Amino acid sequence: MNESPMTLWRWLRQNGPFLFLGLIAVGVLYASHVFNVGHERAKFTIGYLTGYVYQKSGKSYNFRFGVQGTEYEGQSLSNKHMDDRDGGRFVVEYDSLDPGTNVGHFDVFVPDSIRQAPANGWTRPPFPVPARLLDRGKEAEEKDSK
């Protein structure tokens, strides 16, 4: 029995793929948690399209929106049926504690009758929006409570 002790390099070669997959899984779970927590604290406001860029994942649109007098920028992949002209108005969902965490809902237009959003956004927009915007994450809560 002339087995050499396991070196760090040998251990990494044997277990590296599992370690790598484990780190990816932790990252995905963390991102999902942040997104769900952000949705629980979600507010809505008006976003304005400012342009687009082509990326490997597709055409990504840039937008801006304001919260409490501070202007934020965001970027999201396009949606079908969106108004893609610069200055187009749509609903932006943001985390009320961290507005830098946001998503543009390009296919949910803000009616022309709405001139501006309150400085701290809406907890629920004052015009009809798809239920998917307001109910996201609630299905899981309902399953957990049963």
129 and 67 in a single domain? The answer is yes
36 and 46 in a single domain? The answer is no
Gap between the Cα atoms of 43 and 39, Å rounded: 8
35 and 63 in a single domain? The answer is no
Return the higher-pLDDT residue of 6 and 127: 127
**What residues does 58 pair with on adjacent strands?**
55
Q: What is the model's pLDDT at position 130?
A: 85
pTM, full prediction: 0.65
Query: The tokens 């390009």 sit on which residue?
Result: 106
Domain count across the chain: 2
Residue 111: count other Cβ atoms within 10 Å of its Cβ: 10
Q: What is the model's pLDDT at position 140?
A: 40
75 and 93 in a single domain? The answer is yes
The tokens for 16 are: 């590296």
51 contacts 75 by C-beta, under 8 angstroms = no
Instruction: Give per-residue pLDDT as tens, 55-94.
Output: 787 778 899 999 999 999 998 877 666 666 767 899 999 9
Gap between the Cα atoms of 16 and 123, Å rounded: 45
| 20-27 average pLDDT score | 82
The residue segments making up the domain with residue 73 are: 42-145
117 contacts 126 by C-beta, under 8 angstroms = no
